[in-house]
Amino acid sequence: MKAQNHKTTDLVAAVTAAALLLTVACGGEPDPSDPSQPGPGLSQQTFTALKAAHGLPAEMTRAAYLGRSLVANGVYAATTLSGRGAHGVVVKSGTLTQRFPGNLYYFSYSPQPADRLVVAFTNGTRHELTISRLQGNLNVTSPEQFLSSNHSLAYRHVIPGQADLTVDTSNLGGQWTFKASGTFTRDKVKHSTDFVASGSYFFNNDTTGGETKTTYTVRGKVKAPGFSIDVNESHFFHLASSTGSTLYSKSGGKSKVATHSIDTNNNTLTIGGDTFRFDSCRLRKVFRDGKPSDNDPWQATGRVLRNGKGWGAYRYVRGALVANGGKRQFQLVTEQGTHVLESWNE
């Protein structure tokens, strides 16, 4: 990647963003608004496993996929800050160190270690990237250009004490494949995973804004002490942004960033002597400027089978139907009680 005369802030802001997002997704705490207790008739262990089968594979996939951005931005920053990019050398090793506590954008570079690229933060978090393959258009002038063009990456991503994933990913003509295997820790519990995600990616931008569309499937397995998940999911994500005045929704609302996602879950959870199969469980979420939006409807449909028999149904509720009020919830409703899978503040 070519070295450019950008400020250090421009070079590593994206490195920081990708690193922080990955830390939160793989090793962070759950949403404080998300109830952690099951409803009547369900043990805490089974409830924890059901919540994992509901949302963990998608969260894990998104977090691991963000590692691509960390690799591209890290290599770009190291190449530029080392000064070697001016001589046509791409730098894949050394250490990027956050220089000031609490400042997300200033980093310094040192050439050691020689066998991997380390991104180190003042809070002690370290991302260690051992890059074995970096193929693509290395004459681009930004990491985003590299990732949006045809490329192929292979690397090991280690966050000590939190994650250790081996990744092989490629993008060809907007069709991408992402393979990852290894371990990660969530809520102080170590999980192992082996999965393949594949799909299509569209990106377009101009002076007025940008648009991103991603459609993909995830197949594989997640294991934790006491349960395992056979993963079978499909996802759609659409983002539209405006750099000018506002972005208008169909109902007339204004926004600078609008997103909506559709997630379909056909996972199978095995815990003890029970098998829970998620049958076409489909969630739709809409956000405007980072806040839940009603310009388009939120939805939850589908059912969960327990040992082959109907057991529970997905439901979306809001406001008066939610015990605490002022929240949105995705719930699993069974004969024994109602169990909250996700909760969102207004």
Q: Taking the model in full, what pTM does it have?
A: 0.85
Among residues 191, 192, 208, 12, the alpha carbon closest in space to that of 95 is found at 12
CA 234 to chain centroid, in Å, comes to 14
CB 245 within 8 A of CB 255: no
- Within 10 angstroms of residue 296's Cβ, the number of other Cβ atoms is 16
CB 171 within 8 A of CB 151: yes
Distance CA 180, CA 190 (A): 16
Element (H, E) at 263: strand 257-265
CB 203 within 8 A of CB 196: no
Distance CA 304, CA 291 (A): 29
Q: Where are the domains of the chain?
A: 8-345
pLDDT at position 290 = 84
Element (H, E) at 222: strand 209-224
pLDDT at position 341 = 92
Q: List the chain pLDDT tens, one digit each, 346 residues.
A: 554 433 444 444 445 555 544 554 444 433 444 556 787 778 999 999 999 999 999 988 888 888 898 899 899 989 989 999 888 899 999 999 988 765 555 788 999 999 999 999 888 889 999 999 999 998 888 888 898 899 999 999 999 999 999 999 999 998 999 999 999 998 889 999 999 999 998 888 777 888 989 999 999 999 999 999 999 999 999 999 887 544 444 444 455 899 999 999 999 999 999 999 999 999 999 998 888 888 789 999 999 999 999 999 999 998 755 655 558 899 999 988 999 999 888 7
pLDDT at position 109 = 93
Q: Which 3 state secondary structure label does DSSP give 235?
A: strand
pLDDT at position 253 = 47
